Structure formats: C-alpha cells, structure tokens
Amino acid sequence: MKVLFTICSNNYLAQALVLAASAKKFEPSWKFILGLVDAKADNIPYASFGFDVLEIAVIEPDVDKLAEKYSIVELNTCVKPTYASWFFDKLGATEVVYMDPDTCLFQPMTGLDDHFETADILLTPHVLTPVPLDGRSLGENLFLNYGLYNLGFLAMKRSGETDRFLGWWKERTYSSGHNKPAIGLYTDQLWINLVPVYFQRVALIRHPGYNMGPWNLHERTLLPPEGNFRLDSGVPLVFYHFSGFRPAKGGSAGQMLNSDEALYQMQHRGDLYPLYQAYKDKLMAADHPFYSSQPCHYAAFHDRLMARQEQLRQIAEREALPPFHKRCIRKIRRILHAQWNKISFHPAKKLSA
C-alpha cells in the first residue's frame, strides 16, 4: 500500500479537500489520509469527504501534553513522524508521502519510483540555484534560519533506515519542535538539515516541477497554460506549494498572489496569475470561507493554558513584592477607584436652535 497524507486542523480543511481531489486525479493508486490535529466538529461532514480522517488523539494518547507546550502550528508539525510511523507499522504501507494541505498536484509524481530504487528518504530543497542579491528575492540566510529543505513534501520508503530516521525525528519534534529560529529551532523543518549527514539512502529531488513555491520564484517561471502547467524549461509542474496564500485578500491579482511575502511584487509575475486563480476557484468550491472560520480545539486549549500561566506569573510577581510596595499598590488602587466613582455620566442634552 502507498499512502499520501496531509495534516491540518479544521480551519484548513478546504485546502486539504483540494489536495485530496488532486491526489485522486493524478495519483489514484495512493491511499489518501487526512491527519486531523483537532477534535471533530458536529457541523463538519467528515464522512462525505471520500477519504479517511484520522484524529491525532487516536494515535497519540498524550496529545494534550503536546498541546500544553506547543502552539497549533508547532503541534501540527511535530506529529508528522508519528503519523508516518503509524502508516508504516499499522497499515503496512510500503511508501509514504507527506504533503502540506496547501499544496496541489498538477501531474503524477512518476519520478518517485526512480528515486526509490536507490533511496529511502526523498527531500526537496527550497532552492536549486543561488539566490540573486537583488533586494527582492528571499535571501539565502532565510533558508539557513528555517531549513534547507521544505517540509511541505517528504517521501519515504519502508526500510530500517527510514524507521531509524522517524524515531530520531520524533524525539526532536516532541522535545524541541518550537518556532524559535533565533535559537536554532524551527518546528519540524530545521532538523531535516541533518538528515543527509546522519542517514543513508537520502536523495534530493532536483526536478524544478516538484515543490515550486514562493521561495524559489527567482529560478522558476511558468509558460502560458495550454492544458497543463509547465515551466519555461519545458518540464511539467508536478505540484505547487501555495504557502501564505489568503484567498480572502484576492480582490486584485497583486493581493491575490501570496499576500504573506511582501518581498515579492507578485503583480509583476503574470505567469502565476492563472495558477493562483485556478487554485482560488478550487478553494471557494471547497467552501473555504466556512472551514477557515472553524475554531481549533487544541489552539483554544493551548491559549487558555498560556493565559492561566501568565496570570499565575503576575500573581507570583505581586506576592514577591515587599510589604511596603504592596501597601502602595493597594493605596493607589483605592485612590483611582474613588476618583472613578466621582465621575458621573449623563446623556447629552438635545440642543435646540
């Protein structure tokens, strides 16, 4: 069995539905599974999706402990190795491919078979050529902070080396899967810099049609669409990563194309308009406004805990003050309260001419 899976919370289900439809069209032999890092909501018709929805609590009983320390983005990313291992161990998968929910296939991934003949772990670099120092492109230092490889895609073949990799990766994402680039941590992604060093049978996919996205636009341009999307080099666009795309801001082409990346003036990239417009139409057909407004169970859980911890911290700070300071604070509060009570509010009188 070959498994293609994605991971998201309820608010990203429209993107996952679009990815699933593209997988069904171009990779029908792969079993598509959604890893839901959320609690199922009564108002969402999961049974009608046409693919399996596997809640994180089913395969990770300690998910609440992870949610205590991780934001919702950190939580979604830290459980990737957990899901991949589960597909290998419980479903007996021979090959497992992860794709971010905001990716979309435009061609079959036929090149994977050739890569799997000599490798067990396949990665896609953010860029394949040097980034120009033009002040517009994303600088190479960005990849040194956030990772050389984009974890919107990861392909694995069942092997002892893959098992060893997933065990190593899970230890790190569970213990240090934070979004803190200043101290060398960026969720699940930055750890992957070490994979070609630590593990055998690792290959890089250098096909520019794999994982095209905002970070490599300096080196990749699309031809005018004539049926299928193709790059100007003539190779087909296999899948695109619509990272940072917000369809609600898509009133104009300039706003529509990757609104999160201010360094790119997307209105100057007319080759991307048809691609993004087609994707936006698919998101709208998948009821993006409805799904994007859904609350996330684990995000709310984490936020409540953080608020309570902050409250306890403030209480501890006040308790640590000397008695004199405490009396001063209480006196100031009494004065402010008394002054507030002296203020009276009256409805404005109607003025006559």
- The answer to whether 121 and 28 are in contact (CB under 8 A) is no
Give me the CATH number covering residue 271. Answer: 3.90.550.10
Closest CA to 38 of 13, 55, 21: 55
DSSP letter string, 142-199:
HHHHH-SB-TTEEEEESSHHHHHHHHHHHHHHHHH--EEGGGTEETTTGGGGGHHHH-
Instruction: For residue 228, tell me if it sits in a domain.
Output: yes
Residue 259's pLDDT is what? 52
Give me the helix-helix angle, 273-285 and 13-26, nearest 10°. 110
Backbone phi and psi for residue 45, each to the nearest 5 degrees, phi listed first: -85, 70
Residues 6 or more apart whose Cβ sits within 8 Å of residue 184: 190
Instruction: For residue 96, tell me if it sits in a domain.
Output: yes
pTM of structure: 0.84
Domain count, the chain: 2
Q: Which two tokens stand for residue 29?
A: 């032999």
Co-location of 146 and 288 in the same domain: yes
Co-location of 310 and 176 in the same domain: no
Q: How far apart are CA 125 and CA 83, in angstroms?
A: 22
Tokens 């990815």 correspond to what residue? 19
Q: What is the domain extent for residue 313?
A: 305-338
Co-location of 213 and 250 in the same domain: yes
Q: How far apart are CA 108 and CA 112, in angstroms?
A: 10
* pLDDT(313) > 70: no
Co-location of 223 and 255 in the same domain: yes
| C-alpha to C-alpha distances, 29 to 95, 291, 345, nearest whole angstrom | 12, 28, 71
pLDDT tens per residue across span 85-124: 999 999 999 999 999 999 999 999 999 999 999 999 999 9
β-strands 52-55, 185-186 pairing: unpaired
Residue 323's pLDDT is what? 62
- pLDDT tier at 346, thresholds 50, 70, 90: very low
Q: How far apart are CA 38 and CA 34, in angstroms?
A: 11
Co-location of 172 and 207 in the same domain: yes
- The answer to whether 206 and 128 are in contact (CB under 8 A) is yes
Beta bridge partners of 212: 240
Instruction: For residue 300, tell me if it sits in a domain.
Output: no
DSSP state of 138: P
- pLDDT tier at 312, thresholds 50, 70, 90: low
Co-location of 171 and 319 in the same domain: no
Instruction: For residue 64, tell me if it sits in a domain.
Output: yes
Backbone phi and psi for residue 242, each to the nearest 5 degrees, phi listed first: -85, 50
Q: How far apart are CA 196 and CA 192, in angstroms?
A: 8
The mean-pLDDT minimum among 62-71, 159-168, 237-246, 314-323 falls in 314-323
- The answer to whether 151 and 194 are in contact (CB under 8 A) is no
Co-location of 311 and 233 in the same domain: no
Instruction: For residue 233, tell me if it sits in a domain.
Output: yes
Instruction: For residue 243, tell me if it sits in a domain.
Output: yes
Of 244, 272, 295, the last residue of a domain is 295
Co-location of 120 and 156 in the same domain: yes
- The answer to whether 156 and 122 are in contact (CB under 8 A) is yes
Co-location of 325 and 208 in the same domain: no
Instruction: For residue 350, tell me if it sits in a domain.
Output: no
Phi-psi region of 21 (alpha: psi -120 to 50; beta: other; left: phi over 0): alpha
Residue 134's pLDDT is what? 81
Residue 139's pLDDT is what? 84
> Pick the residue with more confidence: 349 or 271?
271
* pLDDT(309) > 50: yes
H/E segment holding residue 95: strand 95-99
Q: With DSSP H G I counted as helix, E B as strand and the rest as coil, what are the percentages for the chain, rounded to 5?
A: 45, 15, 40
- The answer to whether 97 and 109 are in contact (CB under 8 A) is yes
Backbone phi and psi for residue 20, each to the nearest 5 degrees, phi listed first: -60, -40
Q: How far apart are CA 233 and CA 223, in angstroms?
A: 9
Q: What percent of the chain has pLDDT over 90?
A: 71
Question: Which of 49-63, 124-138, 241-255 is predicted most confidently?
Answer: 49-63
Co-location of 26 and 115 in the same domain: yes
pLDDT tens per residue across span 156-214: 999 999 999 999 999 999 999 999 999 999 999 999 999 999 999 999 999 999 999 99
Instruction: For residue 61, tell me if it sits in a domain.
Output: yes
Mean confidence (pLDDT) of the chain: 87
Q: How far apart are CA 269 and CA 267, in angstroms?
A: 5
Closest CA to 244 of 231, 255, 233: 255
Give me the helix-helix angle, 80-89 and 160-176, nearest 10°. 150
Residues 6 or more apart whose Cβ sits within 8 Å of residue 331: none
Co-location of 282 and 324 in the same domain: no
Co-location of 78 and 104 in the same domain: yes
Residue 292's pLDDT is what? 95
Q: Which two tokens stand for residue 6?
A: 């994605």
